[in-house]
Amino acid sequence: MKIGVRLGLAFVYFVLAIGNCRRSEGDRINETLNPVLSTLFNRRMLLLLKGTYSSDSPLEWNETNGGTGALFRDKEGAGLDPIFSTIDLPMARNLPIFLDFGEVRISSKYTQGFNNLSSIRDPAQSNRFWDFIGNERQVMCTVPYTLESDTCQETNGQQKASDFFNGVGAQYPSNDPSSETVSCSDPDNFAQCAARGIGLGSSFGRQYYYTGVYFRALVTGYAVDAGIPITNTRFDNRRVFGLNIVPRNNYNPGTTQAEKQTVIPKLFPLLYTQLPTQSDMEIRSGFDPYILEIRMNIKENLMVHSFNSVRNTTITFVGISDWSVDHKGESDVGGNLQTRARVIYPETASSLNITGGQGNLNYHFGVFRRDETEFIGQLPLAATPARSNARIRYLNPGNYQLVCLGDVEPRDGHPEVVTKKTEFQIPDFPFRQNIQVDLSCP
């Protein structure tokens, strides 16, 4: 078949897929469709960033923290965080957030990224390891931070921040990565092929194993030092209220200065490493369009913390909840911001219609691959709050688990309890199915 005809057919199939998935006016899902069409005229891939635990219909700002809309608070007192100073602490929906992303990278180098990139020692090794797919800086803001022209206003950054947090996903300008077929006759690919049960002489689409999102700044617009609001934080070369929490989240609590010289900062990049039980970043050769979705748990996990400054004053600020690595007043509070990536082929992907949700906003439905066993220490492949008649879109063919996950104790925005689970399958054919699954949750 000639290339022009194949391109035309791929686009027609994609338009049909979009048309079949449209829902009622006002449904947020519709907001993702037009950008997909308009973005993919000149390339195959649409890169989306989402700042939510859920991939689909995440909690509204006023629904976080069990429906109160209040920011979570870390434990304070002797041996914990220093006593907070929370005068004029806003609700989550009123918290200004400013994001500055440097770039987004992915890598298909399976063995070179082991141990959180610790074997990469110099720029030359880094350049060989990464595919630089999104090297254009992106600035986003939930509210304006100047009365004059700034980078956020000039690049539609306020709308991008809205899409970043509402489940639509912020579009990131990008280049298509390589889809060159992986040959199992190449010794460099033996480990990948063995993990997939594929023998010599076979081949498959290029599998990517790592994504890296590079944060230049992440400012949360509430921080006080000895009860006085911090007003000299710089963002986009302007002064803003709040604190840049990137330095706070680059290292786990208790990391020594000597150790910081040997480990890679956690937000430069925010790293996702695909596990052997996962297979969700394969880019097939051909012309069919696809979406690379990268999520991170910011919106649902905002928490008040504090630490003692070098001047022995207490700084109170809003960061990420310490659901994974406990924070007890250290100046570092990292290790709790997660990410997960997946490649979606909307031409063929199906939707999951879920019944059994009880509407408890402390619970989520999470989708995992059938062989995955870690449900708490990583983000689900896809997720949505456990409402009645919940829906998750864009699942590629494969075998999966649907899991009911609860944020029970401590309440910090991140589920730590599995209550129930069930298995289901997305068929290879026919395409774009609506799969029905029932799971009582909670």
For residue 79, the SS3 value is: coil
Q: Span 165-181, mean pLDDT?
A: 89
For residue 414, the SS3 value is: coil
* Cβ-proximal residues to 297 (8 Å cutoff; 6+ apart), any chain: 52, 53, 320, 337, 338, 379, 413, 414
The pLDDT assigned to 199 comes to: 72
Tens digits of residue pLDDT in 325-350:
999 999 999 999 999 999 999 999 99
For residue 258, the SS3 value is: helix
Tens digits of residue pLDDT in 377-428:
999 999 999 999 999 999 999 999 999 999 999 999 999 999 999 999 999 9
Number of C-alpha atoms within 13 angstroms, CB side, residue 345? 19
The pLDDT assigned to 158 comes to: 97
Q: How many CB atoms lie within 10 A of CB 79?
A: 7
Q: Which pLDDT band holds residue 188 (cuts at 50, 70, 90)?
A: low
The pLDDT assigned to 194 comes to: 72
Radius of gyration of the chain (CA): 22
The domain ranges of the chain are: 3-176+208-347, 349-442
Lowest mean pLDDT among 108-122, 195-209, 240-254, 317-331: 195-209
Strands (E), 33-118: 45-50, 72-73, 97-107
What values do phi and psi take at 11, rounded to 5? -70, -40
d(CA 436, CA 370): 17
Nearest C-alpha neighbor of 273 from the set 53, 107, 441, 385: 107
Helix extents (H) in 96-226: 114-117, 123-129, 151-154, 157-166, 190-196
Q: Which pLDDT band holds residue 176 (cuts at 50, 70, 90)?
A: confident
Q: Which pLDDT band holds residue 198 (cuts at 50, 70, 90)?
A: confident
Nearest C-alpha neighbor of 383 from the set 319, 322, 299, 303: 299
For residue 219, the SS3 value is: strand
Query: What is the domain class of 349-442 according to CATH?
Result: mainly beta
Residue 351 has pLDDT above 90, yes or no: yes
d(CA 295, CA 213): 10
Looking at per-residue pLDDT, the higher value among 91 and 115 belongs to 91
pTM of the model: 0.86
Residue 69 has pLDDT above 60, yes or no: yes
Q: Which two tokens stand for residue 334?
A: 């990292």
Q: Span 25-53, mean pLDDT?
A: 62
d(CA 241, CA 395): 40
Tens digits of residue pLDDT in 263-292:
899 999 999 999 888 889 999 887 889 999
Tens digits of residue pLDDT in 102-161:
999 999 988 888 878 888 888 898 999 999 999 999 999 999 999 888 999 999 999 999
**In Å, how far are 182, 200, 202 from 190, measured between CA atoms?**
10, 8, 11
d(CA 416, CA 406): 6
d(CA 123, CA 171): 28
Residue 227 has pLDDT above 50, yes or no: yes
β-pairing, 243-244 vs 270-273, is unpaired
